[in-house]
Amino acid sequence: MNSLAPSLYRVACGILRDHAEAEDVVQEAMLRLWKAAPGWKGESANVRKWLYRVTTNLCFDRLRARRHVCLDACEEPRDDAPDVSQQLEARDRSRILNQAIGELPERQRIAVVLRHLEQCSNAQVAEIMGTSIGAVESLLVRGRRTLRESLAGRREELVR
């Protein structure tokens, strides 16, 4: 039976990709053969086939066990979400900016919102507003200038 051990080892290595685990599997398969052999009758038992089956089953058991990792062995997942203070600051900046945008004249506000908040192209903004691209560009220039002027005194609040 020892002549089968190298073949069983190659099978186990091929499945597990780990030499130490493959050795353990072959030893366990041989131990099971030793325990089961007295119960076999004559030549009706195919030892070789039985050993390969036991070896592959042991390998599959080990592969399944690998999938169940203890949570303590895992690294803590990284949390890239902003912390509470960053969220509050972002909310304050957003509130300040939205308030300033809300104070723009209506057509400037529409152009700024569509272009900068909704990411529409100037051509799309012109189509939505029913005007020319040049008129949209003019509205955007005036809207940005007004926003810069109204937010100039609040620069420290907006840039942290």
pLDDT truncated to tens, each residue of the chain (160 aa)?
A: 457 889 899 999 899 889 999 999 999 999 998 898 887 776 656 888 888 999 999 999 998 888 766 666 667 777 788 788 888 888 888 888 889 988 999 999 989 999 998 899 999 999 999 999 999 999 999 999 999 998 888 777 667 6
Q: Read off the DSSP letter of residue 40.
A: -
Integer Cα distance of 74 and 92 in angstroms? 37
Is 2-70 a domain of CATH 3.30.67? no
Integer Cα distance of 19 and 158 in angstroms? 59
Class (C level, CATH) for 84-158: mainly alpha
Is 104 in contact with 146 (CB distance < 8 Å)?
yes
Is 150 in contact with 103 (CB distance < 8 Å)?
yes
pTM of the model: 0.48
Helix (H) or strand (E) holding 79, with range, is: none
